[in-house]
Amino acid sequence: MKRIRAYGIIPGEMEPGPLNKITDVAGVSVGHATVNTAEHKTGITVILPCEDNPYKNKLTAAAYIHNGFGKSQGLVQMEELGTLETFIALTNTLNVGKVHDAVVDMMSEQCEREGIQVTTINPVVGECNDSGLNLIKERIIGLEEVRTAVREAKRDFEEGAVGAGTGTVCFGLKGGIGSASRQFSLGGKTYTVGALVQSNFGSTKNLMICGEMVGRELEKKTKPALLDRGSIMTVIATDLPLSDRQLKRVIKRAGVGLSRTGSYMGHGSGDIMIGFTTANRISEERDPEILTIRILKESLLDTAFTAAAEAVEEAVLNSLAMASTTVGYQGEIRYSLTDLWLSGLSTADQAAADSTN
C-alpha cells in the first residue's frame, strides 16, 4: 500500500516533516499490537509522547470534544490541569476499561523502578467502535497487547489496518491509523505539528479528497455508509512552546481538517481531539513553587492552526490509502480506497507524484 502523496494528491500547501508523521516531533514514538483473525479485527495503538517518564516530567496537554458520542478516559483531569502524565492509548470501545487498567499497571511499574511513589495516575485512553468487523463483545485487548504496543513503539510506524485501526470503517471504506506532519520556521527555529488519527467516521457520499467529491462515485461501487457516525480519535503533537489554553486552540483546528475530508461530525460520531507539546515540561521534583514557561505570541498561532488542519486532513487520507480491503467476522467486506479509486488514477498523475517525492 502507498500513502496518499504517492498518487499525486497533495493536501494543503505547507511542507511536511521528513517522515510526514506525528513522530517528526522529536521524542514521540508510536507502537501497535494487532489482532487479525476470522472473528477479531482489532488492536491497540499507543503514542509515547517522550523518551523519559511522562509521570515524572509531565507534558502540557489539552483536549477538545467536537461531538461527545464517545467513551474516552482521562480527559476530565487533562482539561482541569492541562497536563499529560502517561502515554496515550487508542483501542476499541469495549476495551477502554481493560486498557486503562493496563496503563495503570505499566506506569506504576515504571515509577516504582525509578523510586517514584504513586497514589494516583490519569491514563488517557481513546476509542472507536469497530463492531462492524470485529466481535467486540469478547474484549480481547488487555495488558499483554498494551505491553507489546509499547515495546514495538518506533518513529517510522505502520499505518492503515493496524493496531487500533484494524477494524475501523471510514466513509464506508476500510479506515485505520493515519498520520501526517507539517513543519515551519518561527524566529529562526523550525517547529513541527504532527497528527495521528484512528478513522472510523463519515458518510460515503460525503468523502472529499482535495476538494473533489469522490464519495458520490464510490457509493455506487460499495455498500455505502449512509450516516456520519462511528467516531474519530485525533492526537496532535507539537514542539511549539504553548500553554494548555493555546494548545486547545490549535487542536480545535483538527475539525477543519476533518471537514475538508467530508465530515459533518454527525450525531453518532465521537469526534475527540487530544494534544500535547514537548515544550514546557513540568517536573514536580525539580521545579520551584513559581514556574516560568515560554509561550508563543498569540498572533503567531495562525501558522500552527493551518498546520494542524492540513496534518489532520492528510492523516485521514493516509489512513484510507494505507488500509487494505478487510472481511469482517460476519462476512462483511469493507473495500480499501486504493482498490476502489486510487489504483485507477492515471499513470501521468502517479509519474508526477514520483517526480516530487
pLDDT at 350: 52
Q: What is the DSSP letter of 119?
A: S
pLDDT at 266: 86
In whole angstroms, give the CA distance from residue 31 to residue 163. Answer: 8
In whole angstroms, give the CA distance from residue 183 to residue 308. Answer: 10
Tell me how crowded residue 51 is: count the other CB atoms within 10 A of its CB: 11
Q: Name the pairing type of β-strands 41-48 and 29-36.
A: antiparallel
- Residue 43 in grid coordinates: 488492536
Q: Interior CA angle at 205 toward 202 and 210, to 5°?
A: 80
Q: Determine the topology of domain 14-326 in CATH.
A: L-amino peptidase D-ALA esterase/amidase (3.60.70)
pLDDT at 348: 45
3-state DSSP assignment of residue 314: helix
pLDDT greater than 80 at residue 85: yes
Mean pLDDT calculated for residue range 138-157: 98
Query: Among the listed ranges 19-28, 242-251, 265-274, which one has the minimum average pLDDT value?
Result: 265-274
pLDDT band at residue 284 using 50, 70 and 90 as cut-offs: confident
pLDDT greater than 90 at residue 80: yes
pLDDT band at residue 285 using 50, 70 and 90 as cut-offs: confident
pLDDT greater than 80 at residue 226: no
pLDDT at 352: 52
In whole angstroms, give the CA distance from residue 305 to residue 185. Answer: 14
pLDDT greater than 80 at residue 157: yes
CB 78 within 8 A of CB 150: no
Please list, in sequence order, all residues whose beta carbon lies within 8 angstroms of the beta carbon of residue 270, skipping any fewer than 6 positions away. 67, 68, 69, 70, 71, 72, 127, 128, 231, 232
Q: What is the DSSP letter of 16?
A: P
- Tell the residue number behind the cell numbers 517514584, with chain if given: 116
In whole angstroms, give the CA distance from residue 322 to residue 277. Answer: 27
- The residue that leads in pLDDT, 215 or 286, is 215
In whole angstroms, give the CA distance from residue 176 to residue 178. Answer: 6
pLDDT greater than 90 at residue 154: yes
E strand or H helix that includes residue 349: helix 347-356
pLDDT greater than 70 at residue 287: no
Work out the percent of the chain whose per-residue pLDDT is above 90. 87
pLDDT at 288: 72
CB 355 within 8 A of CB 194: no
Q: Name the pairing type of β-strands 271-283 and 232-238.
A: parallel
In whole angstroms, give the CA distance from residue 103 to residue 97. Answer: 10
pLDDT band at residue 291 using 50, 70 and 90 as cut-offs: confident
Mean pLDDT of the residues in the chain: 94
3-state DSSP assignment of residue 172: coil
pLDDT band at residue 193 using 50, 70 and 90 as cut-offs: very high
- Catalytically active residues are 231, 269, 271
Q: Interior CA angle at 163 toward 162 and 169, to 5°?
A: 65
3-state DSSP assignment of residue 9: coil
pLDDT greater than 80 at residue 101: yes
pLDDT greater than 60 at residue 211: yes
Mean pLDDT calculated for residue range 91-111: 98
pLDDT greater than 90 at residue 225: no
Residue 185 vs residues 21, 39, 133, 192, 243: alpha-carbon distances, Å: 18, 48, 43, 9, 19
pLDDT tens for each residue of 303-353:
999 999 999 999 999 999 999 999 999 999 999 999 999 998 855 455 555
- Stated pTM of the model: 0.95
